[in-house]
Chains A and B, each alone.
Chain A
Amino acid sequence: MLKIKNLDVFYGGIHALKGINFEINEGQIVTLIGSNGAGKTTILKVISGIVRQKNGQVLFQGEDISKLPSEKIVELGVIHVPEGRKIFTVLNVEENLLMGAYLRKDKKEIQDDLENIYELFPRLKERKTQMGGTLSGGEQQMLAIGRAMMSKPKLLMLDEPSMGLAPIIVQEIYETITRLNKERNLTVLLVEQNANLALQAAHHAYVIETGEIVLEGSGKELLGDDRVRKAYLGEE
């Protein structure tokens, strides 16, 4: 579904991504794990058109999207939930959700989808008219995912959905992600520092270090891999 070919990105003189290649098949949860500054977020930003690459291609369903403006990429069905959630604090919960459907014109279906999201996250329904900035971290993450789902995505990209959240909330978020993947056949690209959880949820995983992919395999394989256990799971 998504294919990244020889991606090179520079920030000024810094070579942030060094010829990255990877692939995501439809219906999979794929995770990129790696430490701070490895280039995970940059990959997502390139896919969603926020950062431009120097070389390489991003193919989504066979089409090169690497030169499209971000609104066209959203229109094609790729949505990016940014790190830190980036809820619109000046809008209320429902308005935030509607922003996700910004490019859609099917008014009736948007209403249905809104109900759908409220079913998925009943907490958001209770807080419908509350301003986005007043929500707790967990609720904001739900809102960010809900908002992304309102764009009717084919590929959902999540950047550190567990960041700053209590373990029990993280559990809940991951259950939702898995559910969305199973029930709606949603393809998910997950970027995480919390490698343990991400690897458990993922069908396929890539380990990225200083701009290069150093290891790949199924989630289970990597959970069992010595190097991964040492470097990312904190085991001796």
Chain B
Amino acid sequence: MFLEQLSNGIALGSLYALTAVGYTMVYGIIRLINFAHGDIYMMGAFFAYTAIAYFNLPLVPSFLIGMVCAALLGVFIAKFAYTPVFNAPKINLFLCAIGTAIFLENFAMLVWGPETQSFPTMIKNEIYTFGGFKFTKLQAVILITSILLVLILSYIVKKTKIGRAMRCASQDMVAARLMGINTNKVIFITFALGSSLGAAAGTLVAMYYKAVYPMMGFSAGLKAFVSAVIGGIGSITGAMFGGLIMGIAESLGAAYISSGYRDAIAFIILIIILLFKPTGLFGKTVKEKV
């Protein structure tokens, strides 16, 4: 039972991690808690669902379509909802994010209907055992896809020119502009990457629970936010660890304490970690030089 719950927790955790990375990236670059991120995750799942259910496309292309459409949506939101208020006080940006979230939820209800739709089974439910460690094929697919996507992202951020520009812009927007970096472009690319990862997570969750519905992004967004904060918001590595910790703690807690405490456990962990490390596990304290 323990190992079963552990594999469940790892699968769940890698999904939280994937969502949290998108959260943390956007925060890192424009210091915005992007409340619409959970809803981009939902839209990604719906895009993939539409490709499968209405256009009868196979899984992999549908999955990629979900990611690409969500990336475009992310850029669209950044351009039309966020950039117009960039130079206004931070609270305006915040309100725009909440507004965007509400808009996307209602947009999805309008297009796909408010009821839960069943996501077609695309991967047969085979169970593998590996030295007492039981996991389903779907769990393996989730874990491998998440690892792969995070590796690709790390490569982009660490090794490519645009990745370096992203790191510079997240440290100091003005200094980055003085080096000739087009910071607007960097912001859009960050939104595109973060949103596509969110969509990937959304689609995998939809596959895991075999359901898509317009409000699915709400609690996912909240948990991804908690994961990002646990890891130290702004840190990509932190978001990944935060997500895994949350997923595992939630599964084990649900199994050994009570499944009713599922969501409470996430916040208990958040409170405990922030008590001892207020900047999160991988967060850096920002020193203000006078």
Contacts and interface: CB of A to CB of B under 8 A. Distances in A.
Contacts of B109: none
Nearest to A44: B178
Interface stretch (A84-92, A113-121, A214-222): A84-92
A231 interface: no
Contacts of A86: 172, 174-175, 178
Interface of A: 48-50, 69-71, 74-75, 79-82, 86, 88-91, 95, 98-100, 102-103, 147, 151
Interface residues of B, number: 16
The 4 closest A-B CB pairs, nearest first, are A74-B180, A86-B175, A103-B180, A70-B177
B164 A89 contact: no
A90 B174 contact: no
B179 interface: yes
Interface in B182-197: 182
A50 B174 contact: yes
Contact of A48 (B165, B170, B178): B178
Contacts of A89: 171
Nearest to A164: B289
Most chain B CB within a 10 A radius of its CB, from A75, A99, A151: A99
A71 B181 contact: yes
A75 B168 contact: no
A86 B177 CA distance: 12
Contacts of B178: 48, 50, 70, 74, 79-82, 86
Contact of B165 (A79, A81, A102): A102
Given A74-B178, A74-B180, A103-B180, 7 more contacts: A70-B178, A88-B172, A90-B170, A91-B164, A102-B161, A102-B165, A147-B179
A82 B170 CA distance: 17
B168 A99 contact: yes
B210 interface: no
Contacts of A151: 179-180
Most chain A CB within a 10 A radius of its CB, from B170, B171, B178: B178
B134 interface: no
A95 B174 contact: no
B164 A95 contact: yes
A54 to B, nearest CB: 16
B167 interface: yes
Interface in B88-124: none
A71 B171 contact: no
28 contacts: A49-B177, A50-B178, A69-B182, A70-B177, A70-B178, A71-B182, A74-B180, A80-B178, A82-B175, A82-B178, A86-B172, A86-B174, A88-B172, A90-B167, A90-B168, A90-B171, A91-B164, A99-B164, A99-B165, A99-B168, A99-B179, A99-B181, A102-B165, A102-B180, A102-B181, A103-B180, A147-B179, A151-B179
Contacts of B161: 102
Contacts of B175: 82, 86, 88
Interface in B150-176: 161, 164-165, 167-168, 170-172, 174-175
B179 A82 contact: no
Contacts of B177: 48-50, 70-71
Nearest to A79: B178
Most chain A CB within a 10 A radius of its CB, from B161, B165, B171: B171
A151 B167 CA distance: 19
B167 A102 contact: no
